[in-house]
Structure 1
Amino acid sequence: MKKVLFSAALFFTACAVSAQESVVKEAKSAKSDPVKAAQIIEPALTDPSTANDPETWKLAGDFQKSIYDDENMKLYLPGGQADTAKLYNSLAKMFEYYTKCDEVEQAKVKSGELKKPKLRKKLAKALVTVRPQLTNAGSDAYNAGNYANALKFFGLYVDAPQNPLFADEDAVKNDTLTPLIANYAALAANSLKDNAAVIKYATIGKEHKEEGYRSLMCLAEAYGKGETPDSAKWLTTIQEGVEKFPSQEYFIGNLMDYYIQKGKIDEGLAQMDAVLAKNSTPYFMYVKGVLQYEKKDYEGAIATFNQIIAEGKDFVAEAYSKIGDCSFFPAQEIVEENSKLSMDDPKYAANEAKIKELYEKALPFYEKAKEAKPDNRQLWGQYLLNIYWKLDKEKYNALEKELGY
């Protein structure tokens, strides 16, 4: 009985193999219609009896290449209208199937079933020819907000130099565009909050001399946020950004925030002075002024902010507001002190006079900030309300109405 069952099993296995082989033959006979042929061969890609044959994968890739070539030709014909979704889909599948073909063939060489690979060179040449189109596919997907597809296409481009299939293709291995495209892959991954992909591609992209800052920004976001933030790697990334891309405000701003939070203001000021010596911008001066303010070096901060105002470029409204802060917040400390004193306490009246003096000193700067940026209420709104409440109830009522309170 066991022998009969075993024989039956062999029979059904043979039938299954024969069925999949017939699928491959049917697909070959339909190659004049590559779309149909591609559909026919799909079952053979998952059945072990045919999926372990490199020729199956090559054939599947060839069908995708024919689909790609047909659509690509339309791009160059007068009045031609290519189906770009179809074009790009076949492009991705070409890479998938030809890569799988190479993997299967190499496995057979390693096992001794084949003496040497026969297909790698031909497959590589075919993919090298169409590889530049991956950047167009990625760009179209990214611009359409399809970040998953953008990551797929950009990723295929960037992964190619590490793909054994291209081991003998110097044009791919030495491609100077790879770090640039890696930046775009990192941006797509960042939009998907795929931190693993961000780290993979940004590590390559950050080496691009002009655009590498994008990857470093994405890396900083990946290390600074997510389920497992890594503060040490975040800081290293920010510092690398400051060193490599000193004109990018993102890195300086984040590093100075770090110094303030950690109470390392003197260290931050020393670094800002070094940065300003090489590249003096209104933003960098503003950051220095904020550090001086945090150190309670109000005189130094005001001098820095006045320099920004004198230049009359960017951050003028912010500089006015921050000069106001140099008087307003010391006044708030006295307000807090007075809240704990009896009104009969002699110190209370003296404090009230000092509060008024500081408010009067801050007032014109907040008003100038409002004049410079009337839509940015964070720079002046609550501060002016507090001051007007103390100094001018009529203006307080008018501003309260203006702010919609």
Structure 2
Amino acid sequence: MKKMMMMAMMLVASATAFAGDSDALKAILKAKTYAEADALVKSSLASLANDAEKAKAYNKLVDLAMDQFLAQSTIQTENQLAKQMGREEKPVDEKLMAEMAYNALLAAQECDSYDQKPNEKGKVKPLFAEKNAQRLWVAPRNSLVNAGQEALTNKDNATARKFWQMFAESDAFPLFKNCDREQQKPYFGQVARFAAVFAYQDKDMEKALQLSDIAMKDPQEYENALNLKLEILGSELKTKEDSVKYCNQLKDIYAEHKVDGVMEKLYNVMQGLGDEAAAVKILDDALAENPNNFVALADKGLALLQAQKAAEAIEYLKKAYEVKPDNAVIATYAGTAYSLEAQNTEDPAKQKALYKEAVTFFDKAKELDPDRLQSNWGYNRWSAYYNYYGPDAPETQQAEADSK
């Protein structure tokens, strides 16, 4: 009797340990099309027995999406041969291909999230990650790039964003961690940045920032993506609290990315908030690290010029010009600083020398920007000529004509 009870208990235990798929999963696995399986997964996900079943269900979606993707891909390949042989080509549903590539990637991500969870023994033994990585990494993801470009050509920005965003974000899917990224290097960052731009245009700020961060990982897109991120962060400043928050965000970004563009924005925001001491310290710290930092030299010189501290402004603006002697704006500011210092000087000889320097810098500005597209050097140059050469000198009269 005891022996029979023990055998019965063993049979029960065996039946429990090796229980078959739930009815909900069986129905999903019997589905013939992606649409049918997708509807079943959405309606019965909570009915699935465990994480393993949920992984199987989502992998079925990957299978069915890839079946449709590959069917169209096969037609493409056959058409290439048909074209070479002068035969009639079959129609390819490229829109369906892209949609199924998108669906396959989305399902694979969900599949992997359950597939990577510990089993009943507490061990992680993924069943689908390797296969899904192999079949999804190249052709399906690349088809999203092409489909996004086609959508952009058709002025369908929403679809372009959808496909390019999936391409960019799927790069970080854990199942793709060991994939070779060499092939996508030439265009990955650009696609991510364009997706960020579309998200920004859609007022989806959080996603736009995330995509900007992804694009910044590409050295070729780093500067453009960072500028976009800064624009997004500063696009909706309405209150002082918004500006304070933006200032703190800039501090964090500058701590991570010692970039002049970030430094300058941080400096300007601090000035706008009235924290002049902190703003000046930003420039002083940058110059302590690099005495030839053009942005810091120019900003410091301009601030001193605006504060009517011409002698100090000359020091920084002159050095900034030495760093970038092709910059007409800095040449103009340097000339203005010399003119202002001359006005503050009572010694005639010293005043004459300062106006001479001013004329030199204004002439450089004119040479660099003759049409005054970047800097309006005209009146200030004439004024310097007037004080150096005198009102009736032909040089002064020519300078006056140049200023009009």
TM-score by length of 1: 0.58
3-state SS of the aligned residue for 2:201? coil
Q: Quick one: distance in 2 between partners of 1:371 and 1:251? A: 31
Equivalent residue for 1:200, pick from 203, 210, 214: 210
Aligned twin of 1:224: 234
* AA aligned opposite 1:319: I
| Maintained 8 Å contact 2:342/2:354 | yes
* AA aligned opposite 1:201: L
| Maintained 8 Å contact 1:293/1:301 | yes
Unaligned runs of 5+ in 1: 1-23, 29-40, 108-116, 334-349, 351-355
* AA aligned opposite 1:380: W
Q: Equivalent pairs: percent with the same residue?
A: 18
Q: Quick one: distance in 2 between partners of 1:188 and 1:318? A: 35
Shift of 1:197: 2.5
Unaligned runs of 5+ in 2: 1-29, 45-56, 115-125, 347-351
* AA aligned opposite 2:231: E
5 Å-filtered alignment, 1:233-382, equals 233-246=245-258, 248-279=259-290, 280-311=292-323, 313-315=325-327, 317-326=328-337, 365-377=361-373, 378-382=375-379
Equivalent residue for 2:196, pick from 181, 184, 189: 189
CA deviation digits over 1:213-235, x for unaligned, max 9?
54432222112114878434432
Distance of aligned partners of 1:255 and 1:312 in 2 relative to their CA distance in 1, 3 Å threshold: closer
Q: Quick one: distance in 2 between partners of 1:255 and 1:200? A: 21
> Alpha carbon RMSD of aligned pairs, Å?
5.5
Q: Quick one: distance in 2 between partners of 1:285 and 1:301? A: 9
Aligned twin of 1:158: 168
Distance of aligned partners of 1:100 and 1:142 in 2 relative to their CA distance in 1, 3 Å threshold: closer
Distance of aligned partners of 1:296 and 1:259 in 2 relative to their CA distance in 1, 3 Å threshold: farther
| Maintained 8 Å contact 2:332/2:362 | yes
Shift of 1:392: 4.8
Q: Quick one: distance in 1 between partners of 2:100 and 2:192? A: 19
CA deviation digits over 1:114-165, x for unaligned, max 9?
xxx9988755542134355258538856996876555333321333367xxx
Shift of 1:322: 0.9
3-state SS of the aligned residue for 2:167? helix
Q: Quick one: distance in 1 between partners of 2:299 and 2:178? A: 45
Are residue 93 (structure 1) and residue 93 (structure 2) matched? no
Q: Quick one: distance in 2 between partners of 1:142 and 1:382? A: 51
Equivalent residue for 2:139, pick from 130, 143, 149: 130
5 Å-filtered alignment, 1:27-106, equals 58-71=63-76, 90-97=97-104, 99-100=106-107
| Maintained 8 Å contact 2:164/2:191 | yes
Q: Quick one: distance in 2 between partners of 1:261 and 1:332? A: 30
| Maintained 8 Å contact 1:366/1:379 | no
> Hey, which of these two has a bigger chunk of helix by percent?
1
Distance of aligned partners of 1:245 and 1:372 in 2 relative to their CA distance in 1, 3 Å threshold: same
